[in-house]
Structure 1
């Protein structure tokens, strides 16, 4: 049975309203639906996938005669909903992930290696972010081998490893090449290629530890008081900022935090860390707990999502990535008047570590609070304690005149 653009358009608008989309957003969809209806007029208003493909290609603005990114985005979103409705009879408003632009190997042998590598990582129950980092580096290396005319694993050599790293230097800053090597090494170990590991060592990528900027006590007080009383900041955003300030939680752990992981009576939260897979229990100060409760009881949109922090705009789902947390933190700091530095969850993690160091907290305790898999990982935060570092500086010897 044929489906008309009018029928699909009505279903889309009804679904958008039911999901709580803003009227301005619905209006944009209605404009696109109207244009789609005009295009479908030559075939009695019936929608087909071929018509949708043609509609998506109409990216030139009639007003300027040039490519319109807004027009392209609006039309692609509408056609995604139309095609889904044509196949299922339902309007699918789920947030779509952007397609990966990472090159992938095509050779059956390389595809099999990736499959085995993925199975091994899952059996070791590595965190999701680690699975992605290790897997993507192996995928890119195997795709690089194919681009160099190498289609069997036995033909991979040390020169290919160094060439692969060199090809990535345009994508990665020199100071972060150590991360590339660290994420690449486990795959070579899994393949038991000591010759390739030796070549990787020749890259001599070293981690650069800079002295990180932290908040002054005055700035920290301003932000805390702003989150406590100012109506200009929502309870959700205040809770996120305060959580980062007092606990140093990673952005990925804040995004994945679930309602069931908050112990309201015990004033604690207990999570399994995304990065390490280790359990972590942290106390919740009264102000943080109050803002969390205010958000959950009065602000949080109605949704089936299990995560605590939800997007304001429909579809009401969990945040999509770290940039969402950064946007919340930077907006709160800027609105509070603390805008003299770049602030995100990573910077606040260093700030939390610095506060613990200034309070003479032992490193093993700081390691436990920050949720490190190894106590050695905490050493990087020593750079934040500038006063203690200055106390370690030795005077220069005074030269004796001959």
Structure 2
């Protein structure tokens, strides 16, 4: 990408930033949208007219925006996402010659508080939730049970569950392929007997006839169409409700957090958990352990990656 001008409309600058994130870093669409959303708020705060002179962005503008974000969002987790987005944007400016300084160093560090740590089900609660899936025998119940196990046992994100295709499951070798994760790469995960049995039961007895190649599809209203992430979230909420569990949070991430926390308690390394969960950085995984990431030992890869 050849860039010569310092003056940009907000829309054009965001489009160039998105192209950089996709081409140079291979980030998925969801992550790019999150980055762009926070950067757009920053640009509109410093340039209300909608035209940005990249050379005029000052460190004080950055600090002021992080401060206003802290007041707006409260919790440090979201503010941390804002800070990460700005750092990535400023690195983009430097990589493309729009800035020569390290403006990313002016972004304040946002510390995670204990209250911001991932909330999860303990081992007893998770076992009760999984046991309750055995009673689900309707087409929707079979689908939701397989979805829940994909998240609780393999740590899939809701977006990864939605994107699963029939050809991603290798029944002979017992593997499940995630075509693309937030890391920009795919992953080859073990298809455990538990997950495999639930998925096979759904495919044989619950999945409606459809031309879609997606594993999980709608069973009512647009029958056979691919599900959305909101459907995944509702499946988790129904499972928690039917198991009569007082969950600390709602939504699909509850099961990912529970899996990661349980694995850590069982002796898995942060590196192994990061590979399974598809984290780009050990900083993300380290939240589960309240550890100093800089002091972590060398990490070995425990899960094979596949090209995206």
- TM-score tier by shorter-chain length is 0.7 to 0.9
What is the number of residues matched between the two proteins? Answer: 275
Helix, strand or coil: the match of 1:381?
coil
Partner of 1:318: 226
Displacement after TM superposition at 1:364 (Å): 3.2
Displacement after TM superposition at 1:157 (Å): 2.5
Helix, strand or coil: the match of 1:270?
strand
Q: Is the 8 A contact 2:155 2:255 kept in 1?
A: yes
Displacement after TM superposition at 1:223 (Å): 1.9
Is 1:181 aligned with 2:83? yes
Partner of 2:176: 269
Match of 1:155 among 46, 56, 62: 56
Displacement after TM superposition at 1:346 (Å): 1.9
Partner of 2:13: 113
Decide which structure has the larger Cα Rg and report it: 1
Partner of 2:150: 243
Displacement after TM superposition at 1:253 (Å): 1.2
Displacement after TM superposition at 1:170 (Å): 5.2
Partner of 2:112: 207
Q: Output aligned runs, 1:67-78, within 5 Å.
A: none
Q: Deviations over 1:213-233 (max 9, x none)?
A: 433433333222221244367
Compared CA separation, residues 294 and 375, structure 1 to 2 (3 A): same
Partner of 2:299: none
Displacement after TM superposition at 1:345 (Å): 2.9
Structure 1 length-normalised TM: 0.60
Match of 2:38 among 134, 137, 145: 137
Helix, strand or coil: the match of 2:187?
strand
Match of 2:134 among 212, 228, 231: 228
Q: Is the 8 A contact 2:123 2:262 kept in 1?
A: no
Is 1:127 aligned with 2:4? no
Compared CA separation, residues 142 and 218, structure 1 to 2 (3 A): closer
Q: Is the 8 A contact 2:175 2:190 kept in 1?
A: yes
Compared CA separation, residues 108 and 269, structure 1 to 2 (3 A): same
For residues 286 and 217 of structure 2, the distance between their equivalents in structure 1, rounded to whole angstroms, comes to: 34
Q: Is the 8 A contact 1:330 1:342 kept in 2?
A: no
Displacement after TM superposition at 1:269 (Å): 0.2
For residues 103 and 157 of structure 2, the distance between their equivalents in structure 1, rounded to whole angstroms, comes to: 33
For residues 140 and 150 of structure 1, the distance between their equivalents in structure 2, rounded to whole angstroms, comes to: 13
Helix, strand or coil: the match of 2:220?
coil
For residues 150 and 159 of structure 1, the distance between their equivalents in structure 2, rounded to whole angstroms, comes to: 19
Over aligned residues, Cα RMSD in angstroms? 2.9
Displacement after TM superposition at 1:151 (Å): 4.6
Displacement after TM superposition at 1:181 (Å): 0.7
For residues 130 and 320 of structure 1, the distance between their equivalents in structure 2, rounded to whole angstroms, comes to: 17
For residues 195 and 282 of structure 1, the distance between their equivalents in structure 2, rounded to whole angstroms, comes to: 39
Compared CA separation, residues 259 and 196, structure 1 to 2 (3 A): same
Compared CA separation, residues 290 and 151, structure 1 to 2 (3 A): closer
Partner of 2:301: none
Comparing both chains, which one has the higher relative contact order based on Cα–Cα distances under 8 Å and sequence gaps of 6 or more? 2
For residues 245 and 363 of structure 1, the distance between their equivalents in structure 2, rounded to whole angstroms, comes to: 18
Match of 1:339 among 246, 252, 259: 246
Compared CA separation, residues 340 and 169, structure 1 to 2 (3 A): closer
Partner of 2:191: 284
Helix, strand or coil: the match of 1:364?
helix
Displacement after TM superposition at 1:237 (Å): 0.5
